[in-house]
Structure 1
Amino acid sequence: IYPSHVTQQNPQTMGWDPLQIAVDEAHKQNVELHAWVWVFAVGNTRHNRLLDLPDSYPGPILSTRPDLMSAALRGPGGELVLPGQFEYWLSPASRKARQFLTTLFSEVVQNYDVDGLQLDYIRYPFQKPGHYVGYEHVSRTRYSAETGMSDYVGTSGFQAWQAWKAFQVTTFVKELSAHLRQIKPDLKLSAAVFPMHRHKRMQMIQQDWETWVRKGWVETLNPMAYSNSAHSLVGLVDYVHQVGGDKVLVYPGLSLLKLNAVELVDKMEMIRDKGLLGTALFAYAHFGPDTQYLVQSGPYLEKNVISPHRKPLLASRQLTKEVLAMVNNLLKAKDQDTNYEVLYEIQHKLVAVDEALNALSKPSLSRTDAHYYLEVARNDALGIERLMESWRQATEADSVEAYRANYLNDNVAKMVRMVNYATYKQQLEFDRQGLSMQPALPNSPSPTSTNPPPPTAVPKVSVLLKP
């Protein structure tokens, strides 16, 4: 959509630069702008029809770069578009194609003050038996040279072939992440991914986002949970949530086209109840006035909130303070059915987590202090989660108490997940600085002692005293 030195600008945006205007206007409103890019899909027959172009037009990249036509992805008969599909693709196995895409995306990051890059179509096209892709010359020759195998789709070599194709996509994510962060170290990389279970996903689209998360190449995942079914949505979100662990923030994608305004808000609240910290809405063209009103009145009522992926420590402190306020209100209510002993323990640990997060945000920490505060935040957050489960179970007999307990439990889950992510990111930063020692994984078991050795200066803790 922007004037590019690497490829053609969209004819519909000739004469102006909508990307620059979008960046400027977003930042005026204190809104982040993440550039959404199609990666390996580089042409679309449905888009052609908007421009009165034939379906045979392969898009601006393949039509103007004959040298890249050899890098185009092909089916078993040499076709460029699979039956029933609409996209033209570059082969993830082509180093020439990957270099071109790296140059194109680097242009965006270098020339525009974007806050992040969202990778879409970061996969192979959907395939089914008899309609697999990867038959272009570059894939055949590289696969044979690197594996010594040539039975691409036979019983003996099929799984190896699919795994090799997934590795090509993963290698590009690794290379692109490293390259773009050299240009802009604070760039946030995200990926629109399919939340289907791994085996099915590897067979159909060769998208190994688990590895991208484990290696820290992406900050956020946007699983495309475009389902009308509440049960299906919860299952998809739970799967990505559990597999992603604490190394990534998950913002599920919801379809504005498939959901009416009430259904959309209901599903956004369901996602919040799962302890997740955001949603992605696709797409703005379907964002009608009714939807806008309900979203602004409900899930997005608060303005100027803290970005979890941009300021994870600050976001963790905010959520910790919110949970602490809820606990304090329960303690002040003096409800005879409330288990005060457990709530006081939760309160004490919440204050300790908040103090530790505050200390971690300070500059010039010593190695000992850095390690100490990371352990306090992690272990006490884990302790809060365990205590919360105990308190929630104790209130199940009373429906009113159970409702309050579940509400508090949802907020605790959100807070703990944010703390785990924030300390993971801070651990990486300390490792980069050479500060931390004996790195511990998020959600690691608490040490035998109550806390690690005290730091140079132990934080002062303030709690409500028991009556």
Structure 2
Amino acid sequence: MIKKLNFIFLVLIIILVYSLNSAAYFKPEVYRSSLLKIRAAERSLNNLDKKMNRAKSDFKIFYQSEIDDELKKIDAYYQQLQQAYKNNNDFEVDRISKIIIRFSNQLLLKTTESKPVQLRGFWLDSGTFAKTGGRSGVQKLLNQAQKANFNVIFPETFYKGMSVIADNELFFQDPRFKNWKEDPLKVLIEEAAARNMEVHPWVWVFNENTAGKPGRILENNPDWANKNKEGEVVSYHNSTWLSPAREDVREFLQKRYAYLVKNYNIDGINLDYIRFPEEYRGSFGYDQISVEKFKEKTGLDPFTIKSGSAEFSIWNQYREDLITQMVKETTKQLRLIDPNLKISADVIPGREEARYRALQNWSLWLKNDYLDFVLPMTYTENLFSELRSWIKEDRSQIKKPLYAGVSVFKLSSEQLIAQIEEINQINPNGVSLFAAAHLTEGDYQRLAQGVFSVPALLPDKNKRESLAKMQDFILKRLNIIKEAEAIETDDLIKIRTFLNQICSKATKADFNFLDYVEKNNLNLSEKVTGVLEKDFNYLKDIINLY
């Protein structure tokens, strides 16, 4: 048995040896099980070495000097680690290897580039909000968010017929907030303002409950229910929904949103569930009012329409228009109260997919200026294909801001950082994380050390300052490329002049970096061209979208 264990251990050592390919590789004279601790530390150092080399080759803007200083400390620990092994001090081997791994992982984050101008938001779910318990708890939460350089909060404010604010003629307060000494929303707004963060209350629209049965609104108004063809009110996602065809439903909701805008110093309103249930071509919409209005308008009976027919397309368009009508009406009313209010919606990712799955034509809402921006719910563990197909395709067609929603609840801390890095490559204008309930103290710290390490300006505020930040960002990139001897001096001067011309105009930009490279016969490598093209496209978005 002992011989078998020794054999297995030797096999593990051989595998580890061949998995290491950097200078960090200790060769002992005697092999003991504690050598596995050294190999784990070496792997972390190798990962750091690879990430740094990749960042350098991509001309990333990161804290090179800080990392170099920390590497000297790690190297000293590595020497101590080897000596501890030689001295047969396995306790020290274990302790020092953990230190090296921790430091290496921290430095990995510092090789990540942080964008200077973007929305960095998170949805503050009502459960997490309630658990803060009052002002001191809110301060503690927002201190974490401030250190991680977030700049927008979407607090869940009206949901399931309840609200975070005190009872009044329009609102029923969520019992979890009953013991607060102050108005929860007012406290959040005040503390957020003190930290230069915007607050956009997150409000539910047509989804009424998620417990597989009617909630407060439908209990009091059963006729308001959205139904499927069989007359059922519970959707396949276990939710109950309100009928968008009913004027009284729309007025009920809009009065509550208007109250928030009139009575609180908020920066925006974030509309959620402004769609049909996610049932593909809207299997809902068969409530009495919807059917009667459709019959009156078209002479058709939706109960007799066959799926896939020309009449079915008319039925789909009718229901889609009901949702659009709600967006249009709501925006018009809220902007009369506050013309500067930012109105957004959480939407199904993929313009056409949203229409197909939930009759949600959000690209039309942006085109018609019913919304200022959307947050596609790109909730996936798939780092590349889904994110790219959703965001890149939509971004190429949409001329207004969109900020990807990231599902923290599906991801490890490492995956979270990786997704934000990927989104920054595709659409660096902003991102929002769902939700605060799933953000750990470690997540806030990792964001602060890496992808959110540099404070970011909101793109639509302080436009001149944002432009200056972008200009400085690209100049830093050019300096890195120059230090790497990857650009000729004449070409560098031309690109700097081009950049200055763009930023000095500060008007709608209609430039193409690749065209400029070609017309001016710049001698740039494919890598340098690709990196700078992304930067200039990012700059173009900041100018044109805001």
Show CA shifts across 1:104-163 (max 9, x none).
10111111111111111010001248x811111110111111223224542241111111
Is 1:276 aligned to residue 276 of structure 2?
no
Cα distance, 1:339 vs structure 2: 4.8
Amino acid at match of 1:188: K
SS class of match (1:230): coil
SS class of match (2:340): coil
User: Which stretch has the larger CA shift, 105-114 or 337-346?
Assistant: 337-346
Equivalent in the alignment of 1:408: 532
- Separation of aligned partners in 2, 1:420 and 1:392: 27
Amino acid at match of 1:11: P
Is 1:158 aligned to residue 312 of structure 2?
yes
2:206–2:244 Cα contact (<8 Å) kept: yes
Contiguous gaps of at least 5 residues in structure 1: 46-54, 358-373, 423-467
Q: Kindly report which structure 2 residues correspond to 1:34-53, keeping only aligned pairs within 5 A, or say none.
A: 34-45=200-211
Equivalent in the alignment of 2:242: 90
Q: 1:178 to 1:226 in 2, by over 3 A?
A: same
Equivalent in the alignment of 1:378: 509
Equivalent in the alignment of 2:177: 13
- Separation of aligned partners in 1, 2:299 and 2:428: 45
Q: Kindly report which structure 2 residues correspond to 1:416-455, keeping only aligned pairs within 5 A, or say none.
A: 416-422=540-546
Amino acid at match of 1:213: L
> Out of 348, 354, 360, which is 1:194 matched to?
348
Cα distance, 1:394 vs structure 2: 5.3
> Out of 496, 500, 516, which is 1:387 matched to?
516
Q: 1:91 to 1:389 in 2, by over 3 A?
A: farther
Cα distance, 1:392 vs structure 2: 11
Q: CA RMSD in A?
A: 2.4
Equivalent in the alignment of 2:188: 22
Q: 1:275 to 1:390 in 2, by over 3 A?
A: farther
> Out of 299, 307, 317, which is 2:451 matched to?
299
Amino acid at match of 2:496: Q
> Of the two structures, which has the highest relative contact order with CA contacts closer than 8 Å and spacing of 6 or more?
2
1:43–1:89 Cα contact (<8 Å) kept: yes
2:245–2:289 Cα contact (<8 Å) kept: yes
Is 1:75 aligned to residue 231 of structure 2?
no
1:249–1:309 Cα contact (<8 Å) kept: no
SS class of match (2:453): coil
Equivalent in the alignment of 1:213: 366
Cα distance, 1:342 vs structure 2: 4.6
Is 1:308 aligned to residue 489 of structure 2?
no
- Separation of aligned partners in 2, 1:389 and 1:254: 37
> Out of 495, 507, 512, which is 1:346 matched to?
495
Q: 1:192 to 1:312 in 2, by over 3 A?
A: farther
Q: 1:389 to 1:261 in 2, by over 3 A?
A: farther
2:274–2:323 Cα contact (<8 Å) kept: yes
1:71–1:91 Cα contact (<8 Å) kept: yes
Equivalent in the alignment of 1:259: 411
SS class of match (1:167): helix
Q: TM-score, normalised by structure 1?
A: 0.75
Give aligned pairs, total: 376
Amino acid at match of 1:237: I
SS class of match (1:250): coil
Q: 1:352 to 1:391 in 2, by over 3 A?
A: closer
Cα distance, 1:19 vs structure 2: 1.4
Show CA shifts across 1:338-386 (max 9, x none).
25555433322321222222xxxxxxxxxxxxxxxx3xx523xx14453
- Separation of aligned partners in 2, 1:275 and 1:392: 28
Q: TM-score, normalised by structure 2?
A: 0.64
- Separation of aligned partners in 1, 2:495 and 2:531: 15
2:350–2:391 Cα contact (<8 Å) kept: no
Q: 1:342 to 1:163 in 2, by over 3 A?
A: farther
- Separation of aligned partners in 2, 1:128 and 1:407: 40
Q: Kindly report which structure 2 residues correspond to 1:62-141, keeping only aligned pairs within 5 A, or say none.
A: 62-64=218-220, 66=221, 69-82=222-235, 84-128=236-280, 132-141=283-292
- Separation of aligned partners in 2, 1:172 and 1:343: 52
- Separation of aligned partners in 2, 1:13 and 1:113: 20
